[in-house]
A and B are shown apart, each in its own frame.
Chain A
Amino acid sequence: MSSLPGTNPEQASGADAGAHDQGHDEPYLAPKATWLATVVDWATTIDHKKIGVMYLFAILFMFFLGGVAALGVRVELWEPTRTVVDAAGNTRLEGLALSAMLPDDKPSLSDANDLYNRIFTLHGLIMVFLVIVPSIPASLGNFLLPLMVGAKDVAFPKLNLASWYIYLFGSMFALAAAIGGGVETGWTFYTPYSTSTDEGHWTVVAMIAGAFILGFSSILTGLNFIVTVHKLRAPGMGWFDMPLFVWGIYGTSLIQVLATPVIGITLLLLIFERLFHIGIFDPRLGGDPVLFQHFFWFYSHPVVYVMILPGMAVMSELIAVFTRKKIFGYRAVAFSSLAIAGISFIVWGHHMFTSQGELSATIFSALTFLVALPSAIKVFNWIMTLYKGSIDLKTPMLYALGFLFLFSIGGLTGIYLGALSVDLHLHDTYFVVAHFHYVMMGSTIVAFVGAIHMWWPKMFGKMYNELWGKVGFWLVFLGFNLTFFPQFIMGSHGMPRRYASYVDEFQIYHQLSTIGSFVLLAGFLVHLFNFIHSLVAGPKAPPNPWGGLSMEWTDAGSPPITHNFHHEPVAKHGPYDFDDVYPPQTKPGEFPMPEPAKPGEHPKW
């Protein structure tokens, strides 16, 4: 496993599959003898790579469903609802764009609003619980974490399979509720609305149960990752020799394990409240609706960081590899992941400045500003990493730069919302909608798509088309900004969120936003076809196409064999020692190396 500069170790190319293991030297993607055997193999696999890939496709499918719901929202908001009086004095309603989906040929305003409410709720629930929370950790985390720490699998492979099936099981509940009429509670399930609406209907309970079940998938995956990081690191790999992706996933897992049980209990209480009217949240029964908000955000604020930390984790890898530089301030980036995980637990009250007392609102506002710092540290460090790098503007790097652009906007606009008096104006308006889409989608989903491009050759052994990747990036980047930037302005003008209709003066912003959402759709379709094309006809990927130095690049094939590595890998260099180590498994001269360091001389600015 020597990785001297300029050498090309061939033992991991997969071509020399020896006889020293029972068929496990095949790439993990190799099909079984029959079609049925392959299906059974995948359905019962305990291979973290297969589980990661199954998660990836499930999440992308859910992303498609949630995206369709989002487009439904944007279509309805093209026009406000208006009563039009014709010359004869007859009235009719205009601007019910979604009503074409209703069986009624002459829909009423209330039916149209109800449909809109169900669709935006569906969008929120799918995107939060089925897409963004599991997105990077469950798919790429599963695939990459053991490879990056040089392990054969996660610590508890069977538990890993269990958490995949729990995810599927929970998704079934959610989809059944959606098909069975949907819910119109909003993804936050605020009481007493959620305990009183759709009375006697099963869909709300099914949806809450789905979210409850999905929580267990999250907890088990997090637990698995924590143990993996602690116990299965390769010989020679200390905590500060780990790739920052691993640090990010580790911080994420801590939050998942600690916070998810709280939402589990809360959702269970909500179900009891609906079914048995026990009176914890419903004031008619002596409960307190604000209690629900505290419980809910005690989980859901940390979960905001479950969503963004993996995106940050990906960023460190993307930037380091495509600039061929050691991440500036590695320890600061690593510790800021833990700081974010810690602080995230004490700022939940900033979602409730309009519903709590003055003292607690003030304390939460002060604490909220603390969480800005570790995020800022990360951004500064990533940008310093670019300095005097050898920057390769391939699709993943474009996504990394796009992330920095969008995350900066998303993060900075958080300052408005942390400031008490300004938040009283902006709370529950489109400003908030734009802010969290810049963070959730503009950052996490952008990092996710960038990461899929980066590790696509590793996962599937095929290269994607670089030109179409870049075209897709620009469509996504421009479409995203066109969709969400106008929402800041309409929010500060006073447009409340979750509105099926609005006053005329907001129409221009809504129309820009709707146009942007279709550009965004075009961008994702370009990526989709690029990936399909790659699977069908893409050129074979080399084991280390980008010249990475973490173990999935240096010691594993593309795709890796079932057992990941032929021999247990040993960490002989850090994951970002691009200055001194020529990337193994690449052609000589493929990647530029800096001048060799003279003994005793330290680098200067």
Chain B
Amino acid sequence: MNEWLKGILLKPGNSDLALGDWNVDGLFMFITWLCIGSFIFVMVPMFWWAFRYRRARGAGHMAAVRTPNHNTVLEVTWVVVPLLFMVVVFFWGFKGYMRGQIAKGNAEVINLEAYKWAWEPLYRNGASSGQQVYMDDRRTPGENGALVGKRGNNLFPVIAVPEKTPVKFIMKSRDVMHSFYIPDMRIKMDIFPNRYTSLTFVPQDAGGDLGNNDQAGAVTVTPGEIPGRDHYVFCAEYCGISHSEMAAVMRVMTPSNFDKALETWGDLYKGKNFAEVGAIVHARKCATCHSVDGSKNTGPTWKDAWGKMTPMAVGGSVMYDENYTREAILNPAARLHQGYPNQMPSFAGQLSDNEILGVIAYIRQLSGKTTDADKVPFPSK
């Protein structure tokens, strides 16, 4: 009965907060039964008396019967009994809460930066997320079916965490408030621009080396990806236009796969040329707002943008060239495109000079104006 109801109300959890001592799921179900019991306790007399003592139509009036309108024992009972239950709920909630605040032992620390509208983890070896995936993607039948539909209009980053190891996220925002929410881990924490916040949990199950245990709807693991068990990550604090697009996938990996991911992601530019590096930067940091297929979004599209006189919000126009692109990345508010709001955070200090050249190369490529310099191998590490 309990398992059946739990299956309806909660998705299977995958952290110690959902499955370990003083867990959220247990308390959730305890409160659920408490609520069901109290609701029945209140509703049965209400419906029964409302039916039993209703003033019947036609059959003459039924008068009320004199009853006491005060009873100390009864009234004290219905204050004290709920109070006792409240004490239990409070204590259980407190114990579970502290487990999400204080890391257990030697935790894997992952720094996480949030900004409008993307997540950027930073691992111990300097790696960020090196993998983007579709969400809710639908494909034509077959092994490598073609994409026919997907959530929203961009890709979402994969945030890797190791199985059965305490992980601690230390989080900061670059602009407004966000909130890091992983429903299957049963925790969220707000992220602020002026201080660090943290949360911690122990991921439980990577679904084996092949990671064939997706919980995040239809996130397809393509060949070559490092597998794991996937969970949705959402931004839970309202942060503007693309708040609902600020999602990610948390992938619980076996420790060996996790190490492999960090190694690969730590050297993502290896063997890539400038334009290819630009594409990687775009997928990681720019894709929520800038399309590469010509469609309008929060920011202007990059397709066929290069080398054109571009109208500015303050009037006049500017040549879309290397200098304009660099300025738009480092000081976005300086010269806004006509018809677009001032929404972009500055990427000063976030991108190296070479990465900026990569972005420039990528925009050139999207406009069919690739130069030889764009094909030069990127100086990796």
B128 to chain A minimum Cβ distance, whole angstroms, is 24
| 345-390 of chain A: CB within 8 A of chain B | 353-355, 358, 361-362, 365-366, 369-370, 372-373, 376-377, 379-380, 383-390
In the complex, chain B residues whose CB is within 8 Å of the CB of A353 = 97
Whether B240 contacts A425 by the Cβ 8 Å rule is no
Whole-angstrom distance between the alpha carbons of A496 and B151 in the complex? 16
Q: How far is the CA of A372 from the CA of B46 in the complex (A)?
A: 20
Asked if B357 is at the interface (CB within 8 A of a chain A CB), the reply is no
Partner of A81, one of B31, B65, B152: B152
Chain A: minimal CB distance from B147 (Å): 5
Q: Verify B65–A388 contact, CB threshold 8 A.
A: yes
Given A193-B240, A421-B97, A502-B244, also A409-B55 (CB < 8 A)? no
Q: Which of B46-94 contact A (CB under 8 A)?
A: 46, 49-50, 53-55, 61-71, 74-75, 78-79, 82-83, 86-87, 89-90, 92-94
Q: Which of B43, B64, B93, B188 contacts A354 (CB 8 A)?
A: B188
**For chain A residues 157-215, which have a beta carbon within 8 Å of chain B?**
184, 186, 190, 192-193, 196-199
| Residue among A283, A326, A419, A501 with max Cβ neighbours from chain B (10 Å) | A419
A380 touches B237 (CB 8 A): no
> CB-CB < 8 A to B86: which residues of A?
369-370, 372-373, 415
> Are A386 and B49 in contact, CB atoms less than 8 angstroms apart?
yes
Answer yes or no: A595 CB below 8 A from chain B CBs: yes
Min C-beta distance of B139 to chain A, whole Å:
10
Of the listed stretches A148-156, A245-253, A267-275, A586-594, name the one at the interface; the rest are far from the partner chain. A586-594
Q: Which of chain B's residues have a CB closer than 8 A to the CB of A389?
A: 49, 53, 64
Instruction: Find B181's partner among A186, A361, A494 (CB 8 Å cutoff).
Output: A494
Contacts A110-B242, A424-B186, A502-B244; A358 near B298 (Cβ below 8 A): no
Taking CB atoms, residues of chain B closer than 8 Å to A362 are: 94, 97
Q: Which residues of A contact B87 (CB under 8 A)?
A: 369
Q: A391-B55, A419-B92, A579-B66 are in contact. Are A409 and B39 (CB under 8 A)?
A: yes
Bound: A456/B227 CA distance, A: 66
| Contact call A323/B217, Cβ cutoff below 8 A | no
**A593 to B75, Cβ gap below 8 A?**
no
**Are B83 and A332 in touch, CB under 8 angstroms?**
no
Q: Is the CB of B64 within 8 A of A110?
A: no
Q: How many residues of B contact A (CB 8 A)?
A: 106
Tell me the bound Cα distance from A358 to B34 in angstroms: 26
With CB as the reference atom, state the residue of chain B lying closest to A186.
B238
In this assembly, does A603 line the interface, its C-beta being within 8 Å of a C-beta of chain B? Answer: yes
Question: Within 8 Å of chain A (Cβ to Cβ): is B163?
Answer: no
In this complex, which of A326, A354, A498 has the most chain B Cβ atoms within 10 angstroms of its Cβ?
Answer: A354
Cα(A492)–Cα(B11), bound, Å: 8
**A184–B27 touching, CB < 8 Å:** no
Neighbouring A residues of B295 by C-beta, 8 Å: 91, 93, 108-109
Residue of B22, B83, B97, B341 with highest tally of chain A CB at under 10 A: B97
Interface string of B20-57 (1 = CB under 8 A from A): 00111001100100110011001101100110011100
State whether the Cβ of B1 lies closer than 8 Å to any Cβ in chain A.
Answer: no
Select B49's contact among A193, A288, A391, beta carbons within 8 Å.
A391
Q: Find chain A residues with CB under 8 A from B68 CB.
A: 602-605
Q: Which of B71, B135, B192, B240 contacts A289 (CB 8 A)?
A: B192
B295 shortest CB reach to chain A, Å: 6
CB atoms of B64 and A390 under 8 A apart:
yes
Contacts of B184 in A (CB 8 A): 494
What are the interface flags for B242-253 relative to A under an 8 Å C-beta threshold, 1 for contact and 0 otherwise? 111101000000
> Could you tell me if A325 and B64 are in contact, using CB atoms closer than 8 angstroms?
yes
Chain B residue numbers with a CB within 8 Å of A38 are none
A489 within 8 A of B: yes
In the complex, are the beta carbons of A323 and B82 less than 8 A apart? no
Q: Tell me whether A386 and B97 are in contact (CB under 8 A).
A: no
**Set of chain B residues within 8 Å of A370, measured between Cβ atoms:** 86
Chain B residues positioned under 8 Å from A330 (CB to CB): 69-70
Bound complex: CA A602 to CA B69 (Å): 11
Q: Contacts of A295 on B, CB cut-off 8 Å?
A: none
B303: Cβ under 8 A from any A Cβ: no
B150's partner among A83, A186, A193, A595 (CB-CB below 8 A) is A83
Contact between A109 and B75, CB atoms less than 8 A apart: no
Within 8 A of A (CB), among B149-195: 149-153, 175-177, 179, 181, 183-184, 186-190, 192-194
A192's nearest neighbour on chain B, judged by CB, is B176
Q: List the one stretch of B228-236, B314-322, B359-367, B372-380 in contact with chain A.
A: B228-236
Bound complex: CA A508 to CA B64 (Å): 47
Give bound CA distance, A379 to B46, whole Å. 10
B338 at the interface (CB under 8 A from A): no
When the two chains form their complex, are residues A193 and B176 in contact, meaning their CB atoms are under 8 A apart?
yes
Contact between A425 and B151, CB atoms less than 8 A apart: no
Instruction: Determine if B309 is an interface residue (Cβ-Cβ < 8 Å).
Output: no
Q: Could you list 26 examples of A-B contacts with CB < 8 Å?
A: A84-B148, A85-B147, A109-B295, A113-B242, A190-B177, A283-B192, A290-B192, A358-B101, A369-B83, A376-B82, A377-B79, A387-B45, A388-B64, A391-B53, A405-B43, A412-B38, A420-B96, A421-B24, A421-B92, A424-B100, A424-B189, A428-B179, A493-B183, A497-B236, A603-B66, A605-B68
Residues of A within 8 A of B (CB): 80-86, 91, 93-94, 108-111, 113-114, 117, 184, 186, 190, 192-193, 196-199, 283-284, 288-290, 323-332, 353-355, 358, 361-362, 365-366, 369-370, 372-373, 376-377, 379-380, 383-393, 401, 404-405, 408-409, 412-413, 415-416, 418-425, 427-429, 489, 492-494, 496-505, 578-579, 591-595, 597, 602-605
Given contacts A190-B238, A421-B17, A425-B186, 18 further A-B contacts (CB under 8 A): A108-B297, A109-B245, A110-B241, A186-B238, A325-B69, A373-B83, A377-B75, A391-B49, A404-B42, A412-B34, A415-B35, A494-B184, A497-B238, A501-B151, A503-B136, A504-B217, A592-B62, A595-B63
| Closest A-B pairs by Cβ, 3 of them | A494-B183, A421-B96, A419-B93
